[in-house]
Amino acid sequence: MARPTSIYVCSACGQESIRWAGRCPGCGEWNTLIEQMQPRGGRGGAAARGSRSESRGGAGAVVPVALSEVAAHQEDRLSTGIGELDSVLGGGLVPGSLVLIGGSPGIGKSTLTTMALAHLAAAGRRTLYVSAEESAAQIRLRAERLHVGDALRVPVIAETSLDTVLATLERERPEVCVIDSVQTLHCAELSSAAGSVAQVREVASEIMRLAKSLRITVLLVGHVTKDGALAGPRVLEHLVDCVLQFEGERERTYRTVRAIKNRFGSTNEAGVFEMRDQGLVEVLDASARFVGEATRAPGSVVLCAMEGSRPLLVEVQALVSSSELVPPRRVVAGLDRNRLALVLAVLGRHAGIGLGTADVFVNVVGGVRVEEPGADLAVALAVASAAKRVAPVGGDGGPLACFGELGLTGELRTVAHAERRLAEAAKFGLAPVVAPGAHATLRSALGDALGDTSAARMEAA
């Protein structure tokens, strides 16, 4: 059999070339040539092209069916045995679906997928763990630490060749299989290195083709780059049914899993985990922990955040110190940097707290990421409290709880799910909450939170 060769296709204009070049000879764009498989006879491509003209007469056409006539039975979902993961998936794995789990190295992707397979094996499902990163012995050592389900009964293969993996899947026919990871599997027919866009795309589409035809549920592990984008797998997002993002920092205990795409459920859910000695443990009482650990010192407030449809109380801390640098430092963890810039500008312009010569550090405690406008007020109050070295005043001497978006004119804007946030705060005895309903402007909120009557007075004037 003649080996099919690959070609390079420009992702901007579609120009095909035999060799890679830094610049597309067609449109002149840089770095747009991506290696692709030359269509084989069996894979559609050329064959389909040849028959197109013949099928114009109507032969080969299909009859469209009204949606009401389409047979659609709700299939039972496969529970992974990990409640938080099931809820993020929308109630468990849909049989035959392809789920991409992205996250930075060391975050716990292999641990999570091993645990899921262990539970599924214990429930009597046929499973298979394909590792292209670790040896079978390493996987065994991890599984032994986990003490979950039937971890040691999960069959494993340590293999990097795509063809071998496909052949094994075809023979073993597992119901659920983990591919760890899409970047380390290698398709011999493409000359680019494993992990390149061309390889990742080919690996994923071949696995998807086989998985859909054999109805194998696949958990595809993918690494993300430093800036948080799914490296390579970005091009897979449209291909898979579900994209889960595993977030948090390696050095921190808490990690969250959230869906950024889900064909079978909402993308609002998020699960919180903690990495322990025996693997990932679900954190069901995350709010209680974060509130319990809140320091109540200057620079610390509790934010009533939303993790998907679930309210979560997290501590936001700020530190303000005089700077030696021009421009001064702005360091954030768990928040959007641009959002901090906006909050600092509003603080300076509308609350008289100028920080042009100060370094500002803001941190969401516990490695949680809060990317919602509702975090603005918490950042503003934490920074103001740190700058003035005044501890925020909560009810009954407890930490101060708050939420709300800041407008550019210094007004407080309402955010979604206000009642749920208030209810969560009330559950932990945090009342009153500094929030848009009670205050119209940042100044008034600041006056309340820091007991700073001068700000409130200026407002009244």
Residues that bind Mg ion (CB under 5 A): 110
Site residues for ligand TYD, 424-443, by CB under 6 A, read none
Site residues for ligand TYD, 257-296, by CB under 6 A, read 275, 277-279
Closer Cβ to Mg ion, 110 or 127, answer by number: 110
Least distance (Å) from ligand TYD to the CB of residue 362? 27
Q: Exposure of 284 by Cβ count < 10 A (0-12 exposed, 13-18 middle, 19+ buried)? A: exposed
From ligand TYD, Mg ion, none, which one binds at residue 279 (CB under 5 to 8 Å depending on kind)? Answer: ligand TYD
> Which residue's structure tokens are 């955040």?
305
**CA-CA distance, 23 to 17, in Å (whole number)?**
11
Residue type at 448 in one-letter notation: D
Q: Exposure of 29 by Cβ count < 10 A (0-12 exposed, 13-18 middle, 19+ buried)? A: middle
**In what helix (H) or strand (E) does residue 364 lie, and over which residues does it extend?**
strand 358-364
From Mg ion, ligand TYD, none, which one binds at residue 28 (CB under 5 to 8 Å depending on kind)? Answer: none
Least distance (Å) from ligand TYD to the CB of residue 259? 17
Closer Cβ to ligand TYD, 122 or 281, answer by number: 281
Least distance (Å) from Mg ion to the CB of residue 244? 15
Q: Across-strand partners of 33?
A: 10
Q: Closest residue to Mg ion, Cβ-based?
A: 110
Q: Taking CB under 6 A as the rule, which mask of x and - marks residues 133-172 in contact with ligand TYD?
A: ---------x--x---------------------------
Whole-angstrom CA distances from 117 to 77, 111, 163, 280, 345 are 14, 10, 23, 14, 49
- Give CA angle at 269 (74, 205), nearest 5°: 65
Of 31-39, 109-117, 182-190, 403-411: span binding ligand TYD (CB under 6 A): 109-117
From ligand TYD, Mg ion, none, which one binds at residue 228 (CB under 5 to 8 Å depending on kind)? Answer: none
Whole-angstrom CA distances from 201 to 16, 183, 251, 291, 368 are 17, 10, 31, 44, 31
Least distance (Å) from Mg ion to the CB of residue 171? 25
Residue type at 178 in one-letter notation: V
Least distance (Å) from ligand TYD to the CB of residue 108? 4
Closer Cβ to ligand TYD, 142 or 420, answer by number: 142
Q: CB–CB of 403/433 below 8 Å?
A: yes
From Mg ion, ligand TYD, none, which one binds at residue 111 (CB under 5 to 8 Å depending on kind)? Answer: ligand TYD
The residues of the shown chain that bind ligand TYD, judged by CB under 6 A, are 103, 105-111, 142, 145, 275, 277-279
